[in-house]
Chain A
Amino acid sequence: MTVLATALSDFLHAAVEPQVQVDAIGIGAIYALMAVGIGLVFGVLRLVNFAYGQLVMAGAFALAYASDQDWPVWLGIVLCFVVVITLTLAMERVVFRPLRGQPAATMLVATFAVAFLLQAVALLIDQTDDTLGEPAASLAKLNVPWTILGTDVRKITVVAIVTAAVCLAGLVLILSRTTVGLHMRAAAMDFETARLLGVRADRVIGSAVLLSGILAATVAVMLTVQQPLVTSTFALRETIVVLAGVVLGGMNRLFSATLGGFAIGYASGLLGGALPTAQSQYLPSILFGLVIVILLVRPGGLFTRGLGPVERV
């Protein structure tokens, strides 16, 4: 018991280090953006988009291509946005739209299929040369740290936190102040009734998908700065963790889903920074053990009031 207590106190001591905190918040910010992207589409389509990570991966490949061609950074970022948004809209048109209203399991497995496909295409691209992974070196200068009061704050951490805050604020404005935002909220609450009242399904779904694509491209830029070697499994792990976070927070509300995404990113950042090296290989076990415990205690979501409605998948 004392061993456990010492381990816990060591962990807490390490966890309050400013360095660990800053990094954890940085990860939380990126995960929160991914959570919004997944939550937006879930809101209007009741579809868990497993292929979201592959959209991010496609953006990272675009950045690597731009870097390989010695394009300026801004042009690379433009290419990343164009690729990701095109792919997102194509995915909605080709796969999601025909499957609208089908059982959730069918839609989920269809996104598996899309994820497989995109990953396989990425692997084919990766294999055209002999190296594993494509470097996106031109973005690496964003990864250098500033030292503030003895804490290394990497530029990208600041960028990530600021971008996340700006994106979330923009999203709140769109959702609360524009007609299409109102339609999206109405559709997320009750799609059929919203349609009866004149909300146009294709338009509202298209807008949600478009926003989720913009977020995916933003995440792609930030993740690529942190992990400049782009492989076909880029962002796969992050997506899985974010999906768990979204359900953990409460999938039925965008706000709770976002908080869930932030919370799980922050928690994994803390665990990664504060666990002693010998135990850090068991980080996924600890993280997902926590996920199970929280799901058992609050099955409707950590950040929802009361027990949310239980939907079936």
Chain B
Amino acid sequence: MRRARGMLTIVAPITLVAATAVVGTFFERSTEIYFINALIAVAIVVALYVFVGSTGVLSFGHISFVAVGAWTAGVLSVPVAEKPATMPFLFDFLAETTVGNVWSLVLAALAGGVFALLAGLPLMRLSGLTAGIATFAVLEITNNVLRYYEKVGPGLNVFSSVPETTDLQQAAIGAIAAIVVAFAYQVSRFGRQLRAARDDAPAARAVGISVYRQRLGAFTLSGALAGLAGGLYVHYLPISVDAVYLDLTFITLAMLVIGGMTSLWGAVVGALAVSGLDSLLAEAENGAAGIDLPSGSRIVVVGALMALVLIVRPSGLTGGRELNLGRLLRGSPGRRGAA
């Protein structure tokens, strides 16, 4: 029974993601992009969850790993012949190399992981709000450098002529891969040690857990997943540096908290719920779905609903718990203990 419940923790999110992808295939391209978008959001939020969920420390820096992943995959997969036109100032070794779709994603994950490791080495000594602001500083620096340093990318321009290989299938595979890694991590002894430290740091230290080392591990792993998501993102849309900055940081953090930041199920549900709502309203802005919203009013509604969800359910839609059929069938809400 316990084993079955454990399986549900991984089966349920994967099923939800797969179902989203399958439903997406029934629509034409103009609607399909909403589904791809939602799946990429799942990949980013799950990456964020690996660190935030298991440490309880909010990171504002993860979008910089997404950005680094996007830059790596983007720069490396533009055909050599087209690089001088869009990115004339690249380092020689970048200008002369082009890799395939899969390799570019692998390298994006690698770049995200290495960058997170390097940033984490000093930063993981911090905790609480101080750590949050320090990760924010990483985001600011990354964004600033990518914006103006044209030897590593297009600078202020958009990434044009990156092969658009991220379709429903690839986005779903990417999101599922992130879920599998996150699950494997959270049931491993490292994940459990870190959760123990989140709930009671002195007790965890007393039984010999190095909080610093475990946090660094989680930060690196989630940086790699964020890098992968960035790779998927750049293969989906010609993005610019503003697409991987403040707005994405806030919306993905909001997705995680709205879903419930201490469970994998919460991360996936939050990402899909917020993206779904956003897409529906975007359609409504275009005059579909029978209602006609003025353009730009979508974010007003999304913001209001996000605040409302948090007021009604402060620990998120899932209450921060994994899916539990037993509880669902009994129908008891089962309030979470004193938080």
Interface residues of A (CB under 8 A from B): 48, 95, 98-99, 102-106, 108-110, 112-121, 123-124, 127, 236, 240, 243-244, 247-248, 251, 281-285, 287-289, 291-292, 295-296, 299-300, 310-313
Contact = CB atoms under 8 A, between A and B. Distances in A.
Contact of A99 (B56, B143, B148, B310): B310
A108 B58 contact: yes
Contacts of B58: 105, 108, 313
B130 A284 contact: no
Please indicate which of the listed interface residues B123, B254, B298 has the most CB atoms of chain A within 10 Å of its own CB.
B254
Nearest to B249: A112
A228 B178 CA distance: 46
Interface in B192-239: none
Contacts of B303: 113-118, 120
- Do most interface residues of chain A lie in helix, strand or loop, or is the interface mixed? helix
Nearest to B298: A120
A280 to B, nearest CB: 10
A296 B134 CA distance: 9
A42 B329 CA distance: 41
Interface in B260-299: 261, 294-299
A110 B145 contact: no
Please indicate which of the listed interface residues B58, B253, B314 has the most CB atoms of chain A within 10 Å of its own CB.
B314
B123 to A, nearest CB: 7
Nearest to A244: B133
Contact of A248 (B128, B133, B296): B133
B125 interface: yes
A103 B316 CA distance: 11
Contacts of B129: 48, 104, 247, 251, 311, 313
Interface of B: 56-58, 122-123, 125-134, 136-138, 140-141, 143-145, 147-148, 246, 250, 253-254, 257-258, 261, 294-300, 302-304, 306-307, 310-311, 314-315, 339
A109 B258 contact: yes
A284 B140 contact: yes
Nearest to A252: B129
A109 B141 contact: no
Contact of B128 (A118, A121, A310): A310
A295 B133 contact: yes
B125 A296 contact: yes
A14 B303 CA distance: 45
B253 A295 contact: no
Nearest to B135: A292
Please indicate which of the listed interface residues B122, B143, B147, B300 has the most CB atoms of chain A within 10 Å of its own CB.
B300
A218 B156 CA distance: 35
B254 A109 contact: yes
Nearest to A120: B299
Nearest to B137: A288
A124 B137 contact: no
A115 B125 CA distance: 30
A113 B132 contact: no
A296 B295 CA distance: 45
